[in-house]
Amino acid sequence: MALMSEDRLFPAEASARAVARDLYAHVRDLPIISPHGHTDPRWFAENANFPDPAQLLVVPDHYLFRMLFSQGIPLEKLGVPRVDGGAVETDGRAIWRLFAANYHLFRGTPSRLWLDHTFQHLFDLDLRLSAETADAAYDHIAERLRRDEYRPREMFERFRIEAIATTEGALDDLKWHRQIRDSGWTGRVVTTYRPDSVTDPDFEGFRANLRTLGEITGCDTATWQGYLDAHRKRRAFFREFGATATDHGHPTADTANLSTEAAARLYEIVSTRDATPDEARLFRAQMLTEMAKMSVEDGMVMQIHAGSRRNHSLDIFARFGRDKGFDIPGRTDYVAALKPLLDAVGLEPGLTIILFTLDETAYSRELAPLAGVYPCLRLGPAWWFFDSAEGIRRFRELTTETAGFYNTVGFNDDTRAFPSIPARHDVARRVDCAYLADLVIAGRLHEDEAVELAHDLAYRLAKQAYRL
Amino acid sequence: MALMSEDRLFPAEASARAVARDLYAHVRDLPIISPHGHTDPRWFAENANFPDPAQLLVVPDHYLFRMLFSQGIPLEKLGVPRVDGGAVETDGRAIWRLFAANYHLFRGTPSRLWLDHTFQHLFDLDLRLSAETADAAYDHIAERLRRDEYRPREMFERFRIEAIATTEGALDDLKWHRQIRDSGWTGRVVTTYRPDSVTDPDFEGFRANLRTLGEITGCDTATWQGYLDAHRKRRAFFREFGATATDHGHPTADTANLSTEAAARLYEIVSTRDATPDEARLFRAQMLTEMAKMSVEDGMVMQIHAGSRRNHSLDIFARFGRDKGFDIPGRTDYVAALKPLLDAVGLEPGLTIILFTLDETAYSRELAPLAGVYPCLRLGPAWWFFDSAEGIRRFRELTTETAGFYNTVGFNDDTRAFPSIPARHDVARRVDCAYLADLVIAGRLHEDEAVELAHDLAYRLAKQAYRL
Amino acid sequence: MALMSEDRLFPAEASARAVARDLYAHVRDLPIISPHGHTDPRWFAENANFPDPAQLLVVPDHYLFRMLFSQGIPLEKLGVPRVDGGAVETDGRAIWRLFAANYHLFRGTPSRLWLDHTFQHLFDLDLRLSAETADAAYDHIAERLRRDEYRPREMFERFRIEAIATTEGALDDLKWHRQIRDSGWTGRVVTTYRPDSVTDPDFEGFRANLRTLGEITGCDTATWQGYLDAHRKRRAFFREFGATATDHGHPTADTANLSTEAAARLYEIVSTRDATPDEARLFRAQMLTEMAKMSVEDGMVMQIHAGSRRNHSLDIFARFGRDKGFDIPGRTDYVAALKPLLDAVGLEPGLTIILFTLDETAYSRELAPLAGVYPCLRLGPAWWFFDSAEGIRRFRELTTETAGFYNTVGFNDDTRAFPSIPARHDVARRVDCAYLADLVIAGRLHEDEAVELAHDLAYRLAKQAYRL
């Protein structure tokens, strides 16, 4: 039996399944637009072979090691590096065996779908992973990873990626992007401006980061105007390397619209001493509005990823650092939070702000009503824990009736896991085709419209919204 | 191909579809009870022909112009009147063409279903609207609107409306209702008492409204008792014109039960100077309880529509005024908020309070548990953004298991768009029949019970709950 | 026609239904693990026949009398005892007739499914209950209840219960459990340590309860250390009667981790005078962390049932007391609330904390992300209002993709209604099989994995998580 069904994620009922198959046939082979993600530009700059299967697929993937940890497996045994440089497992095969022996934990999860897809379609490996098959799978994948055709650029082309965006901090020198540009390779890899380290007073090293920002740009970041100018310069620099978008990861969606004087006074506080929680919150809020105003000036699309309570476990943060699967969503309000920004620039022609949520309750109550009326607002796809078959389906069910399809922006894979990119886009395409097929069978849409929409959702909307 | 499928909104699976068809056949032609809405009684009083297709279908419908605005189309081009009386498009055909060229934006939305239903069933127009078909559709509909059989009373009868409730403010003279009554026409058009302009200190002109209320009723609205008596007189006056219900549109569901002295002191404050936000909130809260107490006295059904943050965009409010599609829901609490009112009158025999929500998360967590135990509480149907195929389905899925069907009150169309009334009731009937059919096929209900329930949900429960 | 379909709760579509049937055939006859509930140990100790049908099925079941009350039927007529000992209906047949005449109110509710299952499978009664069939049903059931085979122990065996947990307060003498143990009967009935009456300063008689706790244990409950030691002794005592778990019913999931000194000072306050709401909240919060620390010591599984606003109606509480169907859920936060406890003991090997919610919005946003990474956390099943076909389905849909199946703990019936136990487990098994079948048909799971999972969800996970 094949590892994966050809009809996976399609409706069970025969007539709807037939429509879904037909729609999917129209979009299966479309190029991939990946407008938001966290792949490493160094891969494409150097085009070196990936290391062993565990280092490629398990160690960097917090979806995988968090699930294993939740069942009592220490992170050290999974090769996750310690902050103090202490010993962790480094033998790829040992890590892989532990992972394989616990593969049943992923039943019903999106990780399972992505992994099986990667095994079957990328590595031509039709084995179900388990303790018994661990070594055979490891050897098979390891052999493939040594081949030229499994290098990053070759995979990029094999995946039919038309454009991919990476994400770099405001202080990044973009040297890998420069190296890609200078290499003559024609793959389109663009950067994204992510200024959290210089807009969030709670970010580690915030005040030192402001000084570095001044040095890089030649602007006087001791003053509010100099600081804003430094952002403008960095945004322009990022645009030189293809950036069409900025990205902002904030604990809430709070925005503010202070007078210039009040903003300058607040900047003086946060740039010279430890901010109180309220000052930090207000500064982040003000900076979202400042970034939106700059987007009106320079045409960059703005992305707001709100709602994650980062590094929930003190102990894991102390021993392993950031981004170790302990980022837990909380309730997020958008209606009051976005009002200051929207009153400032919400009706500006040409402005695009893409909203993401980790609080699904906001889809139908807040986000669809907002995006269904403000011309600058678009809904980002189901994100993070909701970037899954049922999460994507719920996103459509909870937003389409109020905001329609055309206030959404297609799919984002938002991933660090390069081999999973085609698998994730495939899931999104299948789930969207299944949803459209159900609408057709329910008499809510004509089939020719569904064909057009399937194409829009898989390709056109992302390309248009992100101006790629 | 017909514009609409005969089986629309029914389950895909054949056995469930067959049951749904059968149930629907029992209720398709039942009279319409429309116990809550915003049609204009003047239509039925004067029975004049409606103007052109755009003025009938597009300009007054905030569902339509908000979606077009969200994609960058200025409200002026859609004929939406400006507060300052400045120039806006007045050519119905130009508005219609713009609307038609953007008809794809409504794919997957309830507006699309209502419009296609109206085209096909009301206007015998089997064309899919688009830039190409805009003129043909316009001419066709315009011709129909000139016929006698498309006048308001004729449409009322054609729609098989048994009773319809309009909504009037507490200061309204009900002259159109009087004219209907005096005309000898037998169509049943009743009013509803909506006192927000004299119960909400934040309402424009609140204190002037109180004076007017005093003048109209001959009560001394400078005192708390006089003010309450004025409400009693107005409620009685509205009942003369068929009113069986009151309606209250509040930002929250907060209620209070102050002592008479405390309430009188609060009234003195809000009636003589600008209220603070807390005073305004407390006064609205107290007035919900006062209205509930009057309902115990006079038997009027009380409706609470809570949770909308009105006029979210300052700029749109300044240029175009209220109700321009910028009313955005927010989180709504019912459990703590309703407790004062429920402790005051929640167990009173004969009292009926119908609760509506724009926060779907309250359905299963708060509203169904409350309505499933308090004898005065009933659940209003899925409202506003949720008055849609998937919204109605979620309403049933999230409330039935806890509150049952008999603590719900059938369907409300809640519409200003007269031609959409049969289309909306048809959607509700189909979705309810589909839900019941799924219960039958899942062995959760016998088919004869489903037939009875289909009738209850389409007709009886609304008639009983609203005492129509 | 049979009262219940053999295929109830299975998918409508034929291929999925076939898979569901097959999965269900594997689990239908598995023993029942009932690790959390509220059956009365006295039943199993004395093994006396149950009284009449109304006293067995209607009077003690708040799901039933709350629904009847919501439609205006006084609790007195349903035989619910008054606090003042005043007259209520005592004639079982009169209560039964009133219930039967209103049986239509339960259409679409889980109560209906449980009752029909009980009628058909326990009492071999194939009648649909109604005013017409009330007497026949009453006589039939009454006759059965007089038979030996319908005594508690015989039903326990007939239901194939492998283990059942009751719940007793911290001050209980466990005499019925002792009597069961001493009787030589081999049915496994264990207790659960529920200390709310001595951990919640808002509990009636809290300070007197502390004194009793001291007397029972010989510990000096005037001091913080003596109080904690008293808990340790009671936990050990409960373990003598099979307890493997503790249970905590709190209005919120708040936890705290005060210093020993601060905790001792707080204890001095709450044990000597009326606590303020903030003090009471903080003490409850601290006690959750203390209980978790004791679980690390003694291996007892900890259950947190958070989010119910108890005794919502003052009047009903005054006239009928606690637990009369007026417990209404409210919003519940877990992310910030649990952090102190999790920072204290969240990574301890061997600790298990099972979280329950009445706020479904927390499933995908908070609970699945938390349980998907903290090794001590497991998700309790859909609880109370959500212990229903659609509630259980939503639980799976909203948690599986993030937390997987193996961070959940199977089913809890959580019931006082002994005859409903097999019916409730049957609903859970069917809904889980239907969900797994849908995953198989959607290509998300192989069928052999689904068979294993069906067994896990129906039996193994509960047994393992509760260490039974």
Query: What is the band of B77 on the pLDDT scale with cuts at 50, 70, 90?
Result: very high
For residue B441, the distance in angstroms to the closest alpha carbon of chain A comes to 15
Counting as contact any 3 or more CB pairs under 8 A, the partners of A are B, C
Q: Do B8 and A444 touch (CB under 8 A)?
A: yes
Query: What is the band of C196 on the pLDDT scale with cuts at 50, 70, 90?
Result: very high
HEC per residue, B145-204: HCCHHHCHHHHHHHCCEEEEECCEECCCCCHHHHHHHHHCCCCCEECCEECHHHHCCCCC
Based on the domain organization, do A355 and A414 belong to the same domain? yes
Q: Do A401 and B360 touch (CB under 8 A)?
A: no
Q: Which of B124, B101, B134, B131 is nearest to B2 (CA)?
A: B124
Q: Which of B185, B137, B192 is nearest to B170 (CA)?
A: B192
| B400 neighbourhood in chain C, CB within 8 Å | 108-109, 390
CATH number (domain holding residue C384): 3.20.20.140
Any domain includes A7: no
How many helices (DSSP H) and strands (DSSP E) are in chain B? 22, 11
Query: At which residue do the structure tokens 């020993």 appear?
Result: C260
Domain count, chain A: 2
Task: Count interface pairs B-C at CB distance under 8 A.
Answer: 127
Any domain includes C119: yes
Q: Do C108 and B372 touch (CB under 8 A)?
A: no
The Cα angle at residue C30 between residues C20 and C39, in degrees rounded to 5: 115
Query: What is the band of C440 on the pLDDT scale with cuts at 50, 70, 90?
Result: very high
Based on the domain organization, do C23 and C103 belong to the same domain? no
Given a cut of 70, whether residue C187 has pLDDT beyond it is yes
Q: HSE (CB half, 13 Å, CA atoms) of A392?
A: 26
Alpha-carbon torsion (A239, A242, A248, A254), positive or negative: positive
For residue B301, the distance in angstroms to the closest alpha carbon of chain A comes to 27
Element (H, E) at A289: helix A277-298
For the record, the structure tokens of B292 come out as 């509930």
CATH number (domain holding residue A89): 1.10.2020.10
Q: Do C405 and A312 touch (CB under 8 A)?
A: no
Alpha-carbon torsion (A419, A424, A426, A427), positive or negative: positive
Which of A373, A400, A432 is the best substitution to test chain B (most B C-beta atoms within 10 A)? A373
Which of C70, C105, C120, C392 is the best substitution to test chain B (most B C-beta atoms within 10 A)? C70
Cα gap B273→B271, rounded to integer Å: 6
Based on the domain organization, do A175 and A121 belong to the same domain? no
Any domain includes C364: yes
Based on the domain organization, do C399 and C432 belong to the same domain? yes
Q: Which of A465, A210, A226, A205 is nearest to A350 (CA)?
A: A465
Alpha-carbon torsion (C247, C250, C256, C261), positive or negative: negative
Give the pLDDT of residue A2.
75
Based on the domain organization, do C205 and C322 belong to the same domain? yes
Residue A313: how many other CB atoms lie within 10 Å: 20
CA-derived radius of gyration, chain C:
23
Owning domain of residue C103:
52-150
Based on the domain organization, do B182 and B262 belong to the same domain? yes
Per DSSP, the residues of C315-331 read: HHHHHH-S-SS--EE--
Any domain includes A8: no
| B349 neighbourhood in chain C, CB within 8 Å | 72
Element (H, E) at C23: helix C14-27
Based on the domain organization, do C254 and C127 belong to the same domain? no
| C406 neighbourhood in chain A, CB within 8 Å | 71, 104-105
Q: Residues A180-215: pLDDT tens digits?
A: 999 999 999 999 999 999 999 999 999 999 999 999
Between B66, B105, B313, which is nearest A343 by CB? B313
Query: What residues are paired with C355 via a beta bridge?
Result: C304, C379
CA A468 vs CA A190, A369, A380, A415, B211: distances in Å: 9, 27, 16, 18, 60
Based on the domain organization, do A177 and A130 belong to the same domain? no
Cα gap A73→A97, rounded to integer Å: 13
Query: What is the band of B2 on the pLDDT scale with cuts at 50, 70, 90?
Result: confident
Counting as contact any 3 or more CB pairs under 8 A, the partners of B are A, C
Cα gap C10→C21, rounded to integer Å: 8
For the record, the structure tokens of B361 come out as 């998360």
For residue B182, give every residue at least 6 positions away whose Cβ sits within 8 Å of its Cβ, in sequence order, or none: none
Alpha helices in A299-358 (DSSP H): 314-320, 339-345
Any domain includes B39: yes
Q: Which of A276, A3, A7 is nearest to A116 (CA)?
A: A3
Task: Count interface pairs A-C at CB distance under 8 A.
Answer: 127
Based on the domain organization, do A81 and A218 belong to the same domain? no
Alpha-carbon torsion (B44, B46, B49, B53), positive or negative: negative
Q: Do B404 and C128 touch (CB under 8 A)?
A: no
Give the pLDDT of residue A19.
98
For residue B458, the distance in angstroms to the closest alpha carbon of chain C comes to 16
Q: Which whole number is the average pLDDT over C262-285?
A: 97
Alpha-carbon torsion (B204, B206, B210, B211), positive or negative: negative
**Considering C150, C180, C203, which residue would you say is the last residue of a domain?**
C150
CA C196 vs CA A119, A218, C228, C248: distances in Å: 51, 63, 14, 6
User: With contact defined as beta carbons under 8 Å apart, do B34 and B161 qualify?
Assistant: yes
Element (H, E) at A270: helix A260-272
Q: Residues C199-254: pLDDT tens digits?
A: 999 999 999 999 999 999 999 999 999 999 999 999 999 999 999 999 999 999 99
| A346 neighbourhood in chain B, CB within 8 Å | 313, 315
Query: What is the band of C2 on the pLDDT scale with cuts at 50, 70, 90?
Result: confident
Element (H, E) at C162: strand C161-165
Report how far Cα B193 is from the mean position of its chain's Cα atoms. Answer: 13
Q: Which of A9, A5, A31, A33 is nearest to A437 (CA)?
A: A9
Between C107, C110, C385, which is nearest B449 by CB? C107
Q: Which whole number is the average pLDDT over C311-316?
A: 95
Long-range pairs of C275-281 with CB within 8 A, sequence gap ≥ 24:
C275/C201, C275/C202, C279/C201, C280/C200, C280/C201, C280/C202, C281/C252, C281/C254
Based on the domain organization, do A141 and A168 belong to the same domain? no
User: With contact defined as beta carbons under 8 Å apart, do B367 and C328 qualify?
Assistant: no
Alpha helices in B347-386 (DSSP H): 361-362, 368-371
Q: Do C67 and B372 touch (CB under 8 A)?
A: yes
For residue C368, give every residue at least 6 positions away whose Cβ sits within 8 Å of its Cβ, in sequence order, or none: A385, C379, C398, C399, C401, C402, C403, C407
CA C21 vs CA A17, B13, B436, B442, C113: distances in Å: 22, 18, 22, 13, 19
Alpha-carbon torsion (C385, C134, C320, C213), positive or negative: negative
Give the pLDDT of residue B206.
97
Is the pTM above the cut of 0.95? yes
How many helices (DSSP H) and strands (DSSP E) are in chain C? 22, 11
Cα gap B169→B204, rounded to integer Å: 13
**Considering C120, C150, C180, which residue would you say is the last residue of a domain?**
C150
Query: What residues are paired with A305 via a beta bridge?
Result: A249, A356
* Residue in A with minimal Cα distance to C337: A330
- Could you say which residues of chain A have pLDDT below 70? 1
Any domain includes B83: yes
Based on the domain organization, do C197 and C277 belong to the same domain? yes
Between B4, B107, B386, which is nearest A449 by CB? B107
Query: What is the band of C86 on the pLDDT scale with cuts at 50, 70, 90?
Result: very high
Q: Do B442 and C106 touch (CB under 8 A)?
A: no
User: With contact defined as beta carbons under 8 Å apart, do B257 and B295 qualify?
Assistant: no
For residue C276, give every residue at least 6 positions away whose Cβ sits within 8 Å of its Cβ, in sequence order, or none: none
Q: Do C403 and A312 touch (CB under 8 A)?
A: no
Which of B361, B364, B464 is the best substitution to test chain C (most C C-beta atoms within 10 A)? B364
* Residue in B with minimal Cα distance to A361: B361
Any domain includes C389: yes
Q: Which of C395, C442, C434, C439 is nearest to C27 (CA)?
A: C434
Any domain includes A220: yes
The Cα angle at residue C460 between residues C457 and C465, in degrees rounded to 5: 95
Q: Residues A225-245: pLDDT tens digits?
A: 999 999 999 999 999 999 999
**Considering A150, A168, A186, which residue would you say is the last residue of a domain?**
A150
For residue A330, give every residue at least 6 positions away whose Cβ sits within 8 Å of its Cβ, in sequence order, or none: A307, A308, A309, A358, A359, C333, C335, C336, C365, C366
Based on the domain organization, do B28 and B98 belong to the same domain? no
The torsion angle over the Cα atoms of residues A285, A291, A292 and A298, rounded to 10 degrees, is: 180
For residue B363, the distance in angstroms to the closest alpha carbon of chain C comes to 10
Q: Do C330 and B366 touch (CB under 8 A)?
A: yes
For residue A106, give every residue at least 6 positions away whose Cβ sits within 8 Å of its Cβ, in sequence order, or none: A64, A67, A112, A115, C404
Q: Do C449 and A1 touch (CB under 8 A)?
A: no
Cα gap A257→A252, rounded to integer Å: 16
Q: Do C107 and B15 touch (CB under 8 A)?
A: no
